[in-house]
Amino acid sequence: MIFSAIRKSNVFARWLDATHSWQRSKFDRALSSNNHKGGSTIYALSSGPNSFTGEDTVEFQIHGGPAVLTSLMSALSKLKFRLAEPGEFTRRSFYNNKLDLTEIEGLADLIHAETEQQRRQALLQADGSLSELYNNWRRALSHSLAHLEAHIDFSEEENIEGDVLEKCHQNLKDLAQKIEDHLADGRRGEILRSGVRTVILGKPNVGKSSLLNNLVQRNAAIVTSVAGTTRDIIELTSNISGYPVILADTAGLSKNSEDFIEKEGIRRARLHAEKADFIILVADAAEFQKSGKSFEEYLREYVESLELGAILGGGKLRKNYVVVMNKTDLLDEEVKTVFRGDNVVAISCEMKEGFQDLVNCMTKSFSEICGNPSRENPTISQTRHRTHLINCLDHINNYFEMNSKDNHDAVIEAEQIRRAMRELGKITGHMAPRDIFHARAKRVFPSFFQRGL
Ligand SMILES: Nc1nc2c(ncn2[C@@H]2O[C@H](COP(=O)(O)OP(=O)(O)O)[C@@H](O)[C@H]2O)c(=O)[nH]1
Ligand SMILES: [Mg+2]
């Protein structure tokens, strides 16, 4: 149970002595005079500004019975404490400049992280990896803006270096490139945060639902020998090697279905596949054996017959996929060795064989799809960040476009850089104008300070 003090200084001053050291005995007395006998209560004091909120905070460890808790809460409320509102501690740490918005988002993600990889990404963000990156970029913009404004105000005076503008343009170009590279990350952080959307596709009766059940280790989807059993999409979340996965079982893709419901199921399966991050294409190994074709030929014709060419990438399968040859228990021994290829796995749902190979193959792809976030290379984890970064880049590009025209107006151009800064500030929750002032004041006009102007 967490309480926050409403009148911080007044409340805590009573339990601090003249040297600001915490007097537990005084606090004990205050609680007992309000009818709370805590027994063996442990107090942990974090003094501001080094606490989570930046304010003085005390934590209690008490016996967990409801009566002890009620008595403590009642005593505390008489001592002018009240219950914290939801998120109030975090809000206070934001207002006290202890955490910025990206760190708060990271903290929320950390609390909700369900898999190891999500935890790692959230922890990096909560520890300020994204803030550091965006703050550095914001500082770079503010530096350029300061020089641009100095150029506007004083370009005719001699104390402005001639190549200031060129250097400034180069810095802005470098920054725009960095933002572009950061944006072209294949949405890695966002996918890791929300889960890798994985769709199981294939002909009816090849064992798609059996595969789903084996991956989530329960009978989630109905398995029968009747073709067209699965009609709607069945979606389940799972944790595969620390990666969060949203697995979708679909209706078998058959061209000749006359059944209205099955047709609708197929339409939905295709739509889902188009949006998927990863595709598991299931085929019947026994059917391949019967066909007498080479594996490559069979696979090509199978993809064509399902009309998956466009989704999987023009006949050639796109990168984020695995081909699963199911029902290997029905194969002759010598046929089992023909399934070769980086993204091909042979399994038997019936005998529960080959699943380790499948999981290894999926893990390898997921690590590429989700990336490996690090302190040096943090990834965008929210669409909100992406939107502001795109806006920021647009403003920088607008700046160069305006600047390339005849009779351009330097003041209007500079405003684009100010807007670009503001967009980065919106990601971290910082305000831009104060930064511009500091940059102008400290970096560009140090002599004004010396002269006391
Ligand atoms: N022999 C054998 N039969 C399987 C295997 N996997 C699934 N089946 C059978 O194939 C039929 C269709 O399975 P199902 O999972 O419903 O296929 P779906 O239509 O693709 O979802 C069922 O009768 C399953 O018992 C396997 O590995 N070996
Ligand atoms: Mg099915």
384 within a domain of the structure (yes/no): yes
Q: Which of 180, 3, 185, 193 is nearest to 105 (CA)?
A: 193
Rounded Cα distance between 48 and 235, Å, is 47
Same structural domain, 302 and 433: no
104 occurs within a structural domain: no
Distance 284 CA to ligand 1 centre (A): 9
Asked whether residue 255 falls in the same domain as residue 387, the answer is no
Same domain, yes or no: 224 and 292: yes
CB 221, CB 234: distance < 8 Å: yes
Ligand 1 pocket at CB < 6 A: 202, 204-210, 223-225, 229-230, 252, 326-327, 329-330, 348-350
What's residue 282's pLDDT? 97
Confirm whether 408 is domain-assigned.
Answer: yes
109 in a structural domain = no
Same domain, 224 and 350: yes
- Total domains, the chain: 3
Residue of the CA atom closest to atom 7 of ligand 1: 207
C-alpha span between 140 and 365 (Å, rounded): 36
| Domain contains 178 | yes
Are residues 386 and 365 located together in one domain of the fold? no
Helix, strand, coil fractions of the chain, as percent rounded to 5: 55, 15, 35
Task: Write out the DSSP string of 90-150.
Answer: HHHHHHTTSS-HHHHHHHHHHHH--SHHHHHHHHHHHTTHHHHHHHHHHHHHHHHHHHHHH
Residues 201 and 345 in one domain: yes
Protein residue closest via CA to atom 22 of ligand 1: 225
Longest dimension (CA), the chain: 91
Of 319, 344, 370, the residue that ends a domain is 370
Indicate whether 29 and 174 sit together in one domain: no
Has residue 108 been placed in a domain?
A: no
Q: DSSP characters for 318-340?
A: PSSEEEEEE-GGGS-GGGGGG--
Whether 102 is covered by a domain: the verdict is: no
Q: Do residue 233 and residue 331 come from a single domain? A: yes
Give the three-class secondary structure for 386.
helix
Which ligand 1 atom is nearest residue 202's CA?
20
The answer to whether residues 3 and 85 touch, using CB atoms and an 8 Å cutoff, is: no
Q: How far apart are CA 301 and CA 316, in angstroms?
A: 11
In 3-state terms, what secondary structure has residue 247?
strand
Same domain? 354 vs 238: yes
Say how far apart CA 388 and CA 394 lie, in whole Å.
10
Could you tell me if 261 and 327 lie in one domain?
A: yes
* pLDDT value, residue 161: 63
Question: How far is 169 from 176, CA to CA, in rounded Å?
Answer: 10
Residue nearest to atom 12 of ligand 1 (CA): 205
State how beta strands 42-46 and 57-61 pair: antiparallel
The minimum-distance atom of ligand 1 relative to the CA of 347 is 27
Ligand 1: nearest atom to the Cα of 227: 19
**Token pair in block for residue 219:** 């009978």
- CATH number at 11 reads 3.30.1360.120
Domain with 171, as residue range(s), is: 116-185+380-450
Residue nearest to atom 11 of ligand 1 (CA): 225
Question: What residues flank ion ligand 2 with Cβ within 5 A?
Answer: 208-209, 230
DSSP classification of residue 354: S
Going by alpha carbons, the residue nearest to atom 13 of ligand 1 is 207
pLDDT the model gives residue 452: 32
* CB 232 within 8 Å of CB 198: no
How many angstroms separate the CA atoms of 104 and 113, rounded?
14
Give the ligand with the smallest distance to the CA of 328: 1
Q: What is the pLDDT of residue 156?
A: 63
Series of mean pLDDT values for 10-residue runs along the chain (453 residues): 48 70 78 74 81 84 82 83 79 85 90 92 93 95 90 67 82 96 92 95 94 90 81 90 94 77 82 91 95 91 83 59 95 86 91 95 93 84 94 96 86 93 90 48 36 33
Cβ pair 170, 143 in contact under 8 A: no
- Rounded Cα distance between 377 and 272, Å, is 31
- The sign of the CA dihedral 410, 411, 412, 414 is positive
Tokens of 449: 């300070």
The residue among 340, 370, 400 that closes a domain is 370
Looking at the CA of 204, name the nearest ligand. 1
CA-nearest residue for atom 19, ligand 1, is: 205
Cβ atoms of residues 284 and 327 within 8 Å: yes
Q: How far apart are CA 217 and CA 239, in angstroms?
A: 11
Helices (H), 161-259: 164-183, 188-194, 208-216
User: Which of 199, 200, 205 maximizes ligand 1 atoms within 8 Å of its Cβ, making it the mutation to test the pocket?
Assistant: 205
**Domain end among 341, 370, 399:** 370
- Identify the pLDDT of residue 123: 94
Kindly state whether residue 170 falls inside one of the protein's structural domains.
Answer: yes
Residue 301's domain is classified under what CATH number?
3.40.50.300
Ligand 1, from 349, 351, 358: best to mutate by most atoms within 8 Å of Cβ?
349
Whether residue 392 sits in one domain with residue 293: no
> Do 363 and 414 lie in a common domain?
no
Nearest to 27 by CA among 92, 81, 89: 81
